[in-house]
A and B are shown apart, each in its own frame.
Chain A
């Protein structure tokens, strides 16, 4: 049963869900863009502030597990959502359709992500994952009057439904063998007829689940939707896709690998190693000659998830710490890069300004934006003194410690290729300005809030790169609690 203690433990989720309801009621009463955005930011901040209280009671609600991984996912999700909600108003200012629904969908997606990172049961995993994906269809297709956005939404919807079918089939296979849906109970040992070796049905179920989750993570053989959806979706929706959706699904995959006995198999680890290797090499190679910044970041996210999968392959407490550190640095850098894209594309005029030529000479127009973009790209490339270096250092250290030389080689080769295209974008920022018309900008409160958020992100990237000790200590503490 769900007790009061459990509800206190779930306080962040409850607050975010309640904010979603409040936002919905507010929209039905009176549409007010600034008010809706303020309510959203307030609700997310309140949820973030309720975390110490929720963590203190050490609740264990049914079907869920509130451990270090859940706390890590909750903090990262809420912080990213807060940044997205703070930067969206300026972007949506020029959108002529209804703007308020975006915040409602964002809050629903965040609720799903919070449930997903804490799930300890297949039913919880499934419903939360759907709750995370369903608002994203609407957010990606938000600008549905333009062809690309609608195309992106439909592509994501159809392919996501196919991936969900894989996931469900995998769960059904595991259930057929064990009669259980709880993560810890999904063990082949419960079937008495088994003698030696991994059970092929259990293994098949596990592989199907990895396929289903791999689609959401856009790792290599299941990545085909990524560039189109990244390009077509409105920039804030793409940002949700790149940060909240990926980190929540990644953490649940990590938990599956750590907790579920059915995933305990060297064969499965080798398969995931292979996926990781082709993701990091393939993602970087595909990004190499992209002229569209959003597509480029989409391919680069494939490569980053490839690096991250090393933490899934390697067992042990260090893998949780590594995942935490890398996810943190990746999310911060992605928020910075997409935040600049959102800022340059604001106010909303149909298609986003994502082609590289839009960014030519950005430094001479708005040096601050160019500086934030440079920092984010340097961090994504993993240059020292930025946050990304710490993450990459952890990943390589983890791979070396477990002597996964192929994967370490993949990280090194991928990073070298990555450096080339990140630098190419950076050089574009500082080229002399072309004659083309820059977009006109609207001054106002929304713009200042967005700029302030970008500055905080940029400072965070530098700070984490120069003095990462607090973050590392925190992640190590979470890994011990996992």
Chain B
């Protein structure tokens, strides 16, 4: 179990280095996926399977798909047009593949080691325990997180607005706006 923890941690660090040194956004995103899966494995190794599953479902699943879509929609430069020959060169897929293989090895080693509850060193934190904590003593934190999300949503919808009638540095339309909208 120790080996799985340290191996996944190492993979996470290396993959994150790949994210920030990558020149192409798509490559960075692929490294980021590997990094997130590695972090999920770290959670498993520490005895928090629920956090690990959430990490995969939410981050590696939902959020990374959004990332990939956005990158694909925005990345329409001319040099991206000649991709087909590029992906065949090993330098573009070797790094993430090796890291993912290392993760797979750790996972296989874990599964073949036998009973998963025996393999985990620490206390096992189940989804039930998390739910009882969140909606028991931590209720205020959950409520404040809800308002945090509301504030983030309002901020994004305000700043992302397109149909603004124009910024108000043109004084001609400013004075005739009374105090009613």
Contact = CB atoms under 8 A, between A and B. Distances in A.
Interface of A: 1-2, 10, 17, 20, 24, 31-34, 61-64, 89, 93-101, 104-105, 108-109, 111-112, 115, 123-124, 127-128, 130-131, 134-135, 137-138, 141-146, 150, 153, 347-351, 440, 442, 444-446
B140 A2 contact: yes
B140 A64 contact: yes
B181 interface: yes
A446 B177 CA distance: 13
**Residue in A10, A17, A20, A131 with the greatest tally of chain B CB atoms within 10 Å:** A131
Contacts of A446: 179
A95 B140 CA distance: 35
Contacts of A350: 167-170
A1 B177 contact: no
B168 to A, nearest CB: 4
A93 B152 CA distance: 24
Contacts of B143: 17
A63 B137 contact: yes
Given A127-B145, A442-B175, A63 B138 contact: yes
Contacts of B62: none
Interface string B123-152: 000000000000011111101110110111
Contact of B147 (A95, A99, A131): A131
15 contacts: A2-B139, A24-B154, A97-B161, A100-B181, A101-B158, A105-B151, A105-B155, A112-B144, A134-B148, A134-B152, A138-B151, A143-B167, A349-B168, A351-B169, A442-B175
Contacts of A135: 151, 154-155
A63 B147 contact: no
Contacts of A64: 140
B147 A20 contact: yes
A95 B150 CA distance: 23
Interface in B151-181: 151-152, 154-156, 158-159, 161, 164-171, 173-175, 177-181
Given A17-B143, A104-B154, A105-B154, 12 more contacts: A32-B180, A63-B140, A96-B165, A96-B174, A98-B181, A112-B148, A115-B140, A124-B140, A146-B167, A150-B159, A153-B159, A350-B168
Interface in B36-62: none
Contacts of A145: 164, 166-169
A328 to B, nearest CB: 26
B88 to A, nearest CB: 37
A62 B138 contact: yes
Nearest to A94: B174
B174 A347 contact: yes
B129 to A, nearest CB: 15
A153 B159 CA distance: 10
Interface string B90-132: 0000000000000000000000000000000000000000000
A444 B137 contact: no
The 5 lowest CB-CB distance pairs between A and B, nearest first, are: A145-B167, A350-B169, A138-B155, A62-B137, A108-B151
Contacts of A105: 151, 154-155
A378 B173 CA distance: 38
Contacts of B165: 96-97
A161 to B, nearest CB: 13
A100 B179 CA distance: 12
B167 to A, nearest CB: 3
Contacts of B147: 17, 20, 108, 111-112, 131
**Residue in B148, B155, B180 with the greatest tally of chain A CB atoms within 10 Å:** B155
Given A33-B179, A94-B168, A145-B164, A349 B174 contact: yes
A127 B148 contact: yes
A347 B168 CA distance: 10
Contacts of B145: 127, 131
Contacts of B178: 93, 442, 444
B140 A137 contact: no
A96 B175 CA distance: 10
B173 to A, nearest CB: 6
B135 to A, nearest CB: 10
Contacts of A131: 144-145, 147-148, 151
B121 to A, nearest CB: 14
A150 B164 CA distance: 15
Contacts of B175: 94, 347, 440, 442
B164 A32 contact: no
A106 to B, nearest CB: 10
A134 B168 contact: no
A348 B168 contact: yes
A185 to B, nearest CB: 14
**Residue in A20, A97, A348, A445 with the greatest tally of chain B CB atoms within 10 Å:** A97
Contact of B144 (A93, A97, A115, A351): A115
A95 B169 CA distance: 9
Contacts of A98: 158, 161, 181
Nearest to A101: B158
B166 to A, nearest CB: 7
